[in-house]
Homo-oligomer: A and B are copies of this chain.
Amino acid sequence: MNIQELSREEQVDQLYDRIHALLDQGETRKAQIVLQALLPADQAEIFADLPDDEQWQVLEGLPVEGTADILEKLADEEVAEIAQQLTPEQLADILDEMEPDEAADLLGDLPSEEAREILTLMDTCDEISPLLLHPDETAGGLMTSEYLALGQHIWAERALEAIRQWDSEHEYFYYFVVDGGGKLLGIVSLLQLIKANPRDEVAAFMARSFVSAPVEADQEECAHLMSHYDLTALPVVDAEERLVGVITIDDIVDVLEDEATEDIQRLGGAAPLEKPYLLTSTWEVTRSRVGWLLLLFVSEMFTTNVLQHFEGTLQKMVVLSFFIPLLVGTGGNAGSQTTATIIRALGVGEIEKKDMLRVLWHEMRVGLLMGVCIATVGFLRAWLFRSGDVSLGLTIGLAIGAIVLWSTSIGSLLPLFASLAGADPALVSGPLMSTLVDATGLFIYLTVAQWILGV
């Protein structure tokens, strides 16, 4: 079956309908056969959409390998829900068939009492236990303990024989050469092994120049290492440079997507959601946002004081208040344009902290250019608004130009300051930016107004 992207979604939908219908007619066996003929990712997608009772119908009598394949691809929360309904013995059997890193993640999500009980029932207990020691978002939490370590003096043909015998859950194409103490010395690929002279020792042709990650490294660092060096497998080592695990590229692709999601949600001014959108409750979504919204609301209250300070001016010329949303809004927009650019450039490593002055200078020139453009339009708008009131036009034009220049400069500095302080630059989100430039923008506006209009 060759699945073309353009029709993939429809194909999966059709298969869902077919499996759903079979289950409905009590043809469980047939439904299982149809499902198991699919690629694991599609199996999981269809399974997740089935009603709860039909999910159980499918799982009953499915071989443990089949169940393991499906659970590996489901979202963590869905797996947890299913795990609760299984006996510890059933769960242990299924976990034995899963990739060690996935199994460890699942165990980590269970209450620790329960996880310990299940672990003792598992055949792969020794393989999984070390993985449970590391926080989820580190190299240690991401790595699998399923890898093949070779001695440095082993012949190529012997290494190939070992690979033929190795009954791994997944296909691996890189193997790791270690010394007697387990210290990582080099990496060989399957291609190197089949091209090598059968009696050559692996140490003779292994890659000695390689990249590894310390077990406590942040997952984002690992992702950048693998992306920077175009790696498909990244060895993880302890403080003594002993090999303890391997991170594979499929995990990193997920990390990159998750990190981008977090950045985007933070930029929007909300805490990142821990799970897929439709699985979050109203209360969870609210909790992820209301804190920030309140914080911004309270800090934005300062604008009320700024305006009160200019009460006399506003009283005399109420027309000035008509332009308040336009001016503060545009300042906020200019600031968040800049912030988004800088945060992303920091995130992918295009700029570093040391580039701060260069970035500021760059943004100030951009701000000046944009300020002049917007000031011209602003002048025309205000001038036409009160049929030919030149001084109102000048006030609005000058104020908006200054606000754009100011917001652009502040917008470039804030993420860099956050980064210097060791905070996530994405925390300096668009909304936070807007709030900060609003109060200062109003001050600029009404000071310019007092000066030009003399009110």
Q: Report A's interface with B, CB cutoff 8 A.
A: 1-6, 8, 37-39, 41, 160, 163-164, 171-173, 184, 189-191, 194-195, 208-214, 217, 221-222, 225-230, 232, 237, 241, 249-250, 252-254, 256-257, 260-261, 263-265, 267-270, 273, 276-278, 282-283, 285-286, 289-290, 292-294, 296-298, 300-301, 303-304, 307-308, 311, 314-315, 318, 321-326, 328-330, 332-334, 336-345, 348, 350-351, 355, 358-359, 362-363, 365-366, 369-370, 373-374, 377-378, 381, 385, 400, 404, 430-431, 434-435, 438-439, 442
Contacts and interface: CB of A to CB of B under 8 A. Distances in A.
B184 A340 contact: no
Given A267-B268, A268-B430, A324-B324, 13 more contacts: A171-B189, A256-B257, A264-B344, A289-B334, A296-B333, A300-B329, A304-B385, A307-B322, A311-B318, A325-B325, A332-B434, A336-B430, A337-B431
Given A321-B324, A332-B431, A366-B286, A293 B2 contact: no
A377 B297 contact: yes
Given A282-B362, A350-B276, A337 B39 contact: no
Contact of A336 (B232, B269, B278, B342): B269
A117 to B, nearest CB: 31
A178 to B, nearest CB: 12
Contact of A2 (B4, B184, B339): B184
A282 B265 CA distance: 28
A219 to B, nearest CB: 11
A370 B172 CA distance: 49
Contacts of A213: 4-5
Contacts of A338: 268
A268 B209 contact: no
A328 B330 contact: no
Contacts of A336: 268-269, 430-431
Contact of A214 (B4, B38, B163, B323): B4
Contact of A253 (B2, B3, B256, B358): B256
Contacts of A370: 286, 289-290, 293
Contacts of A249: 232, 249, 253
Contacts of A3: 211-212
20 contacts: A3-B212, A37-B209, A164-B194, A173-B189, A190-B190, A232-B249, A252-B253, A253-B253, A256-B260, A260-B264, A264-B344, A268-B341, A278-B350, A292-B333, A297-B330, A300-B325, A300-B326, A307-B324, A321-B321, A328-B329
B326 A328 contact: no
A362 B308 contact: no
Q: Name the residue among A282, A321, A377 with the largest chain B CB count within 10 angstroms.
A: A321
A173 B194 contact: no
Q: Name the residue among A212, A252, A322 with the largest chain B CB count within 10 angstroms.
A: A322
A413 to B, nearest CB: 15
A194 B329 contact: no
Given A184-B2, A293-B334, A298-B377, A173 B191 contact: yes
A248 to B, nearest CB: 9
B270 A341 contact: yes
Given A190-B173, A212-B4, A322-B307, A228 B334 contact: no
A73 B367 CA distance: 32
A245 B359 CA distance: 41
A226 B211 contact: no
Contacts of A253: 226-227, 230, 249, 252-253, 256
A404 B241 CA distance: 54
A277 B39 CA distance: 40
B438 A329 contact: yes
B328 A325 contact: yes
A111 to B, nearest CB: 27
A214 to B, nearest CB: 6
Nearest to A426: B264
A374 B296 CA distance: 11
A163 B434 CA distance: 59
Contacts of A301: 326, 381
Contacts of A348: 257, 261
B268 A330 contact: no
